[in-house]
Structure formats: C-alpha cells, structure tokens
Chain A
Amino acid sequence: MSTTRVDARGLSCPQPVVLTSKAIEGGAESLEVLVDNEVSKENVIRVAKKNKMQTSVREEGPDIVVEIKK
C-alpha cells in the first residue's frame, strides 16, 4: 500500500486541512502530512480523527510529519 505525501508546509489555515481532507476523500488510506507549525498539526490531527483514522507524529528536521492511517 502506497503512502500519499501531502506537503502543507508554510500554508496558512485552512489549506493544510483542505489538502488532507481531499487526500482522504480521494481514497488515501495511509498518508503523511508535512506541516511546520503546531496549529496546522492540531488541525490535521482533528480532521484525521473526524475520519476515524489513527494518527502519529514525528519530527523531520524543522518540520512535523503527521502520519495518518485507517
């Protein structure tokens, strides 16, 4: 199963959420969302939870990666 990678770094609210939602609606079952701030991280996690998906967070240099799985 391939992982969809969404680069939402530097984008202002609500674009990280819109991109994540679109990827989930597009059928992605495993995705990694790249963000660079706490607010985007919180918002992306909230979307994932609404879609009843699991999340985990890891840091990648200065960026934050939110891993989302069914």
Chain B
Amino acid sequence: MANPFASRTGIIVVGVAIGIMATLLQYFGNPPNMGICVACFERDIAGGLGLHRAAVVQYIRPEIIGFVLGAFLAAMLAKEYRPRGGSAPLIRFFLGVFAMIGALVFLGCPWRALLRLTGGDWNAVTGLAGLAAGIGVGVYFLRSGYSLGRAYAQKPASGYLFPVFMAGLFLLLVFRVAFAEGGPLFFSQKGPGSQFAPVWVSLGAGLIIGAIAQRSRFCTMGSIRDVILLRDFHLISGVAGLVVAALAMNLILGQFKPGFAGQPVAHTDHLWNFLGMALAGLAFALAGGCPGRQLFLSGEGDLDAGIFVLGMIVGAGVSHNFAMASSPAGAAAFGPAGVIVGFLFCLAVGLTMRERAR
C-alpha cells in the first residue's frame, strides 16, 4: 500500500503543518518560541513529577503525550505497530540523559532551535551550527561501522507499555493529583511552566503531529544526517517546510522579534549554545533520531526509543538538580562540565560500538 506521507510532497506538507501548529500553540498560550520543544516539554514533565525542583519549569505537557499516542494510533491503523527492542538499551538510556543535558545548556531541542530561529532569536544560529557539527561527528562514526546492534521482535503487548504510561500521565494532569501538600504533582505558578495552551488544544495538536510524523518519518536530526551522509534532501525538505511555515505564521501573529539579546528562554553564550547542541546532535545521531522521532518510534512499538525518552526525562532531573541547565543569564555552573562528560561518553560509545563483520 502506498504511503502518501512518505513522498517528497508528503514530508513537506507535514513540515508545514508542524510549523503552523507549533506557532499557533504559542499563540494559544505556550511559552514564546516554544510552541513545541520536545526537550523542554519532557523537562517540564520531569518537573511536574518532582524529578527536579526548578519551580518555573513544571507542567505535564499534553503535547508529548499526544505525540506518543498519535504515533501509536497511526501505526496501528497503518499496520506498522511492531514491538521491537534489545538494541543496547542501557547505552540508549545514557545517550538520552546526555542529549538532554546538552539540549538544556542550549535551551531547546532541534525543533525549538528552528522555532527560535523563525521567531527572530539569532542565538539559534550557533545552536543549529552546533547541532550540525555534532551530527557530523555522528556521521563519521556511522561511516566507520558504528552500530548499537540489531533489535529483535518483542511480544505484541510489550509495545503498549509506553503509550499506556503516557495515558497515565494524562490522567495525572486531568485530575491534578496532589500526592502530598505542596506537591508532587508540581505546577509552575510563574515562568515557562506556567504558560500553556488549553489542555485539549495541546493534546489535539500533539495527536495530529504524532500521527502525521509517524507516517512521514519526520526527523530533524535525520534531515541533517542524510544531507551529510547521503546527500539526500528528502527529510530536510520537510524541515524547510517547517521553517518557512513557522516564519510566515510568526510574522502574521506578530511573534517575530529579531535580535540576540533579551530573547525568551534563551541566552547569548554562543560557545555553550554551540557545544550544548553539538553534544545533543551527537547523542541523537548515535541513537538514530531526534527527540521528537524517538517519541514517535516509542509509540509504534520501539522499546529502545522508549528507553531513550526515559533517559531524557531523567536527564532533565539530573540537569536541573546538578546546576547544569542554562538560564537566560547564561550557562550554569556545572553546564560545561556536564557537556564535557557527555562528549566523553558519546565519543567512547562511537569509538567502541563497531560492527566488524561485513
């Protein structure tokens, strides 16, 4: 059966749709230049659950839940739901941890880097350059035979676990369960965590994006990787669609405010913007997908992608608890140390995980 979303036109349509929905989510209440940010929103979920106590970034983001459930439903309907796993789960967990540490030094995942750019935040340029550099290093490893080994089919029910976990998070959000006085759950009273679109708008957008991204295989990391590795411009044409649509929408909605200084939830420490995103890019490349793609994969039954997502959520706790996450003032005390440890880990993984046999 032909899959219209897998065509060149299909991926561009999906990119445009994501760009429009992300900027509209901002219009409906999500934080500035953060209509969708997979890293930030997983970090907010970690905060809502109390895995870190940064009071300004705590909310159970329905977009993340929608991504997984939308991908799950789309995969089911398309008969692509296929539980599989067993490809170096523990390594993927730590790749997720360090990907998050890097992303929170920059303050955004690749999606948000694009949204920041289209909102006029020029600091995103160094972040995106770092992302491409990190992916470039990952491509070098891929060319020299890097592999985490193959995954195997798992029992049909095992793939339900991650979508059910997400549905459970949604119930926690809807009922705003208070497990103790003063939380958890935690919900920010001020800061980015207190800025959100109505729950059903967020969930609806998440479900739609989850479904169309699953069908089209939309991936920001993959788009840059394929250009470097294969001179293939398929995925990046979708990313281009996102950028053009988001820029147009930001101009229409009055959300375009060009400059370096004073950008929302951003800092101007160019070195660490670059290096933070380079670490994230390398970790995404080694794990085979950007954080959005990992959510869609976990929805269609990829248990290893689910492990990566859990690594990112735990990584957000680590990042905020141990003073590694940046703030608008710039890189935090231990951010650079976290990035350096992350590079050492990723380089060790890249150098040692080799497939010798042809």
Contact flag A14-B142 (CB < 8 Å), given A21-B230, A38-B3, A46-B232: yes
Q: Which of A11, A12, A18, A62 has the most CB of B within 10 A?
A: A12
Contact across chains for B232 and A10 when beta carbons are under 8 A apart: no
Over the window 73-85 of chain B, the binary record of Cβ atoms lying under 8 Å from chain A Cβ atoms (1 yes, 0 no) is 0000010101010
The answer to the question of B87 belonging to the interface, with a C-beta cut-off of 8 Å to chain A, is: yes
Contact flag A13-B80 (CB < 8 Å), given A18-B229, A42-B3, A62-B153: no
Contact flag A10-B151 (CB < 8 Å), given A38-B80, A42-B6: yes
B298 CB to nearest A CB, Å:
13
Q: Enumerate chain B residues within 8 angstroms of A11, measured Cβ to Cβ.
A: 147, 150-151
Report how far A26 CA is from B232 CA in the complex, Å. 19
Q: Enumerate chain B residues within 8 angstroms of A39, measured Cβ to Cβ.
A: 217
Q: Enumerate chain A residues within 8 angstroms of B87, measured Cβ to Cβ.
A: 10, 12
B91 CB to nearest A CB, Å:
12
Q: Enumerate chain A residues within 8 angstroms of B320, measured Cβ to Cβ.
A: none
The answer to the question of B200 belonging to the interface, with a C-beta cut-off of 8 Å to chain A, is: no
Tally of A-B Cβ pairs under 8 angstroms: 52
Over the window 104-127 of chain B, the binary record of Cβ atoms lying under 8 Å from chain A Cβ atoms (1 yes, 0 no) is 000000000000000000000000
Q: Enumerate chain A residues within 8 angstroms of B219, measured Cβ to Cβ.
A: 13
Q: Enumerate chain B residues within 8 angstroms of A18, measured Cβ to Cβ.
A: 142-143, 229
Contact across chains for B230 and A17 when beta carbons are under 8 A apart: yes
B343 CB to nearest A CB, Å:
22
A17-B230, A50-B230 known; 7 new pairs, CB 8 Å cut-off, are: A11-B150, A12-B289, A13-B219, A14-B229, A15-B142, A18-B142, A50-B232
Contact across chains for B288 and A37 when beta carbons are under 8 A apart: no
Report how far A62 CA is from B82 CA in the complex, Å. 11
Which residues on B are within 8 Å of A, measured CB to CB? 3, 6, 78, 80, 82, 84, 87, 142-143, 147-148, 150-153, 217, 219, 222, 225-226, 229-230, 232, 234, 288-289, 304
In the complex formed, the residue of A with least CB distance to B78 is: A38
Q: Enumerate chain A residues within 8 angstroms of B229, measured Cβ to Cβ.
A: 14, 18
Contact across chains for A13 and B3 when beta carbons are under 8 A apart: no
Which residues on A are within 8 Å of B, measured CB to CB? 9-15, 17-18, 21, 36-39, 42, 46-47, 50, 62
In the complex formed, the residue of A with least CB distance to B80 is: A38
In the complex formed, the residue of B with least CB distance to A4 is: B358
Report how far A62 CA is from B153 CA in the complex, Å. 10
Report how far A18 CA is from B147 CA in the complex, Å. 11
Contact across chains for B82 and A14 when beta carbons are under 8 A apart: no
Report how far A20 CA is from B222 CA in the complex, Å. 17
A66 CB to nearest B CB, Å:
15
Q: Which 7 A-B pairs have the closest CB atoms?
A: A10-B150, A12-B288, A10-B151, A13-B288, A42-B6, A11-B150, A38-B80
12 contacts between A and B (CB under 8 A): A10-B84, A11-B147, A12-B87, A12-B288, A14-B226, A36-B84, A36-B153, A37-B80, A38-B3, A38-B80, A47-B230, A62-B153
A19 CB to nearest B CB, Å:
9
Q: Enumerate chain B residues within 8 angstroms of A14, measured Cβ to Cβ.
A: 142, 222, 225-226, 229-230, 288
B266 CB to nearest A CB, Å:
30
Report how far A12 CA is from B150 CA in the complex, Å. 7
A30 CB to nearest B CB, Å:
17
B1 CB to nearest A CB, Å:
9
Contact flag A46-B142 (CB < 8 Å), given A11-B150, A13-B289, A14-B226: no
B99 CB to nearest A CB, Å:
15
B79 CB to nearest A CB, Å:
9
A70 CB to nearest B CB, Å:
19
Contact across chains for A12 and B3 when beta carbons are under 8 A apart: no
Contact across chains for B80 and A9 when beta carbons are under 8 A apart: no
A58 CB to nearest B CB, Å:
16
In the complex formed, the residue of A with least CB distance to B304 is: A12
